[in-house]
A and B are shown apart, each in its own frame.
Chain A
Amino acid sequence: MKASLAERATLFALVTLIVVVYVFPYAFLVSTSLKPPADALAIPPTILPQRISLENYSNIATFPSVRQSFANSLTIALLSTLITISLSVPAAYAVARFASMAGKIFLIAVLITRLIPPVSVGIPLFAIMRSLGLTDTHIGVALAHSTISVPLAIWLLASFMEGIPHELEEAARVDGCSRFGALFRIIIPVAAGGIAVTSVFVFLASWNEFLFALLLSSTSVKTAPIAIAEFRTQYGIQWGTMTSLSVVFSFPVIIFSLLMQKRIVAGMTMGAVKG
């Protein structure tokens, strides 16, 4: 049954209103970051900047430690992606191709992991990392981040690999290719797109992560979220710079989610329901 025109118009108006109200906080953040620093503190605040200024963005350069924290975030996220993907690809292959036993054990491990609060894993983990000299190193934080993203990575990769016809591998194996060979020569090239998508998720998970970064990085490898969170206490609240930092930090997230709308939504929701 077709809805009447009036009904559709009401629906459209309502949904648009919700989206506008919903997106407003982020839009306001961007708008504030584009105001000259003094205007950011105007009472009452204006929704749109009266004058556009990039001063808040150029101000970021005057805080070398904050700039360094962005580099740290990038290094850690890339390292974490590298570790997670290189370990998850074989695991996902096992889940996708072999009898379900290993997959079941893995699933149970993931479920149990979800019941352990990160903060309480963090306490002994901090001690372990310290005894190995891994606190305040990029690799230490990246390792911790990897465990967060591994379940999602394996689920995503396994679902991509299940879509690859068995015949491809069989042909290779008849020609004398081993299981490992088949993984490297057939599966990985064919699933390259899926691996790229998964890498983006893993990257973002590490980029966004707060708690482990807080626990495991004290000074030299501090990530951007921690630096931004501490920014207020160190220099007082400079709203202009705070907002521009947040906009810059959310930039990769926004870009990726616009570029791969469908996949992001599907991937994020799958991780929650299946895991």
Chain B
Amino acid sequence: MAGKSSTRSEGQFAVGSDVPGKRKGRRREYWTRYRIMRYVLVPWLFLIPILALHAFVVVFPAAQGVFYSFTDWRGIGEAEYIGLRNFEEMIFEDQSYHDALWRNIQWMLFFVTVPFAFALFGSSLLAKVRRGAMFYRTALFMPFILPSIVTATIWRYLYNPRFGLPTLVGYEKALLGQSDTALWSIAFADNWHFWGFLMVLFLTAMQGIPPVLYDAAKVDGANRWQEFWHVTLPGIRPVVLFMLMMVMIWAFLVFDYIFILTGGGPAGATEVLGIDIYKNAFQRFEAGYAAAQGISISIFAGLIVTAFAFLRKRGWEI
């Protein structure tokens, strides 16, 4: 859109203002150089500062990460090349890596179901609300903007075994302190912060569904459920699928909530990949190995994107 209109404006310039020569040969040469300047060099001049920063803080460290993953680097000093040793250890030997990966998969299963169910329910309710819609929307969206430390503090307090929420129903054990409940309790807290965001996305998408479709469904005698299933859901499908992809990727990156609430405990019960990598890099001084684990996450994320791209090619409108 922008490209098209700027071509038009540039045409006006060429005719109106600064075409120097009238002879055809010179004009052609001028155009070639002008175009190179116009389309290749000038845009880059505007982008160079940001790309330099990006290179410094993301690309260069990421490339170094790839390099370190083939070494026995300890986080400081020299790194010695050890080939695929880190990856072999990760795949075949390291039980804690396998356990962490399994926890990320559980986390992913939670986040591709619970928040989506909440958000679909919430958004289809809110879509019908006219008066005060913005108020409800902001109220449900607010936790998404809250800093993770604040959300975590809230839930640490609410999960407290002495005077927290569970004591109201007579459950006096620490939800965060037991291996079988800790991970799900953190997931629930994270979900409290997250689903409002999904809901607002779905709600925005729902507003783009032509009302005619709902009228048609009514005429055909569809009940609420059929209306949701045959009109609403197909209408917001691209957003739902895109967010499924993002949530699956994010499930491998989870860090903040677990780090703040349990730090990976009790007894490693909430040690997901992010925590395991953090500990390997900064506490166990196995930065090379941690880099290899980080690469494995990027590979999982890449696989997820590829899978969705493949499905899209097969005609799944994403």
Q: Is B268 an interface residue (CB 8 A)?
A: no
Nearest CB to that of A102 among chain B residues? B43
Task: Encode B92-126 as 1/0 by CB contact (under 8 A) with A.
Answer: 00000000000000000000000000000010011
Q: Flag if B50 contacts A120 (CB, 8 Å).
A: no
The CA-CA distance from A116 to B144 in the complex, in Å, is 22
Indicate whether A146 sits within 8 Å of B57 (C-beta atoms), given known contacts A119-B278, A272-B246.
yes
Q: Is the interface of B mostly helix, strand, loop or mixed?
A: helix
The CA-CA distance from A146 to B65 in the complex, in Å, is 20
Number of residue pairs A-B, CB distance < 8 angstroms: 292
Indicate whether A101 sits within 8 Å of B39 (C-beta atoms), given known contacts A124-B291, A170-B9, A243-B157.
yes
Using Cβ atoms and an 8 Å threshold, which residues of chain B touch A12? 129
Q: Flag if B298 contacts A26 (CB, 8 Å).
A: no
Q: Flag if A32 contacts B157 (CB, 8 Å).
A: yes
Q: Is A185 an interface residue (CB 8 A)?
A: no
Q: Flag if A179 contacts B42 (CB, 8 Å).
A: yes
Task: Encode B73-97 as 1/0 by CB contact (under 8 A) with A.
Answer: 0011000000000000000000000
Using Cβ atoms and an 8 Å threshold, which residues of chain A touch B317? none
Q: Bin the interface of chain A by size.
A: 35 or more
Using Cβ atoms and an 8 Å threshold, which residues of chain B touch A262? 134
Q: Is the interface of A mostly helix, strand, loop or mixed?
A: helix
Min CB–CB distance A137 → chain B (angstroms) = 14
Q: For window 145-178 of chain A, which residues contact chain B by CB distance below 8 Å? A: 146-147, 150, 154, 162, 166, 169-170, 173-174
Residues of A near any B CB (own CB < 8 A): 1, 3, 11-12, 14-15, 18-19, 22-23, 25-26, 28-29, 32, 41-45, 83, 86-88, 90-91, 93-102, 106, 109, 111, 113-128, 143-144, 146-147, 150, 154, 162, 166, 169-170, 173-174, 179, 183, 204, 207-208, 210-211, 214-215, 224-225, 228-229, 232, 239, 242-243, 245-246, 249-250, 253-254, 257-258, 261-262, 264-265, 268-269, 272-273
Cross-chain pairs A/B with CB under 8 angstroms, 24 sampled: A1-B215, A11-B128, A15-B129, A18-B125, A22-B139, A32-B157, A42-B163, A91-B46, A91-B50, A93-B46, A94-B46, A98-B6, A115-B298, A115-B302, A117-B277, A120-B294, A122-B61, A150-B53, A204-B145, A208-B145, A210-B148, A211-B256, A225-B147, A250-B146
